[in-house]
Structure 1
Amino acid sequence: MFKNCTSAFIAAAVILIEELANKVAIVTGASTGIGEEIAYLYCQSGASVFIISRRQHVLEKVAKRCLELGGRQVAVYAADMGVDEDIQAIPQVFKKHFPESLVDHLILNHKLENQIGSWRGTAENLTQLYNIINVNFYGYVKIASLMRPFLEQSAGSIGVVSSASGRSNSPYIISYSSSKHALDGFFAGWRLELEAERSNVSITYCTLGLIETENMRKEINNFRFENFNLMSAVSAKDTATAIVMATVRRYRELYFPWFETKIPLLFRYWFPVTLDKITAFLLKAKQ
């Protein structure tokens, strides 16, 4: 039943082509997975994209495919989201490639590869926490802040790609979860400020469940769980469609897949002990 609900949601996205034609989007974390699919979706609809990720050679392959799919203009920027100088240069690099264009949509999707494991309070744990917060949280805030003037000129939209782990208690990925909780707090509060100021910029906060990507499989394989096979993943392509639809239509929030992300959030407030027990069962580590 819930799979059919997801399919119905995706089927409703057919009008995206008309909504995206001639738009200009910035997509971070665009070299693989969800970000790559988001870039392709825009270009299939005749939009222009400025795609950002760390690996230049991979970005160039994605850009080539974007043009093949019908993208009006495609530009790449190889940047490390943990390096402030790289982030500060984004507005200048964008204007270099798109001197006459505004930014219609900013999709913040990048993340530092997560290392799943128990928190021991070691120096390695603390360094990992610092690095993840720097990339997954500060990186989002910095880029959104820098691009706000561009978005205000176009009455643009910001899509913040987050996770259900940023809305619930998530063992073994504490650093990653903390960065996502921080995103929720910042962007929810900033949205209220923008609304109070009657800004024309919208913020869509996307809470995602388990998504089938190469990075997800790599991370999961590094730390095996006894009951993980009871959890199902949805495709990166369907997820990209949901994110873009929600951002373009200026939804306040997206839960995708809905059942796997919205219901646990309700349980967190209504039945917190039960949710913790279910989470502990699903994420029970093999000995």
Structure 2
Amino acid sequence: MRHVVSPAKGYAKWEGREATFVDCRFALGQPQSGFDAYATEHIPGAYYLDLEKDLSAPKREDGAGGRHPLPEVDALARVLERIGVSNGRCVVAYDDQGGAMASRLWWLLAYLGHDEAYVLDGGFAAWKRAGYPTASGVEPLPEEAGRFEPRVRADWVVTADDIAARRDAISAGRVVLLDSREESRYRGLSEPIDKVAGHIPGARHSFWKANLDAEGRFRTVKEQMQRFEPLQGAEEIIVYCGSGVTACPNVLALREVGFTNVKLYAGSWSDWISDDSRPIATGNG
């Protein structure tokens, strides 16, 4: 089942009122900018969910859980109900960050057992280029809230302790640890966000933006299969990034091409370095 939907198919769902559209635009360091962009122009009927207020739990002072901890399950369910989402209701998420923020919502919905979730390919820009309608202002909440019962897939998530327990399997290549950040951050050459540079020992590198073609759309299934060919045969693939957000496009792409053993290290690098006793690697290995 594909979870990336083209603007044309998204428009068909929008026109038939078959889906709830969610605007996920967000910029790190400019937390208000996403909502401002939504209020200025958005897909008609779309609701706005904020990465840090709605799709993450508050950060802990000790850094455990990372910069964007997973939201509490019941709290997220209530957020979804507020915008009219019920079990089985189709949800189409979009952003203007190459699907990074929209994929976070896709992953959270899938984690809660909700499979009718999609990312709009090319985001809001592709919607506009196609000439589809837009609106401004803030959409009123639906008169009738949804009824959402989470069915949590706990095996979709791993912790730092889980990774430590898999150290030998990672070294042997049976378990693949995949770092989704820019190469310079993976290699420890720069770190513009977190307090420590480098990567988790044994991790391979696959920048999440390699999912996208020159037009900013997800690559074809054939191209993605070629990209992830070296991962065939792995018992398990654990994906991480800086805070568990931009890893989600890689999780999405892997599942799009048939990998079923894909898990997210939700706390990611920012959680890993919250404990000074955990090892750190630099360079290409």
Q: TM-score range by the shorter chain?
A: 0.3 to 0.5
Query: Structure 1 length normalisation: TM-score?
Result: 0.32
Query: Structure 2 length normalisation: TM-score?
Result: 0.32
Q: Higher helix share goes to which structure? A: 1
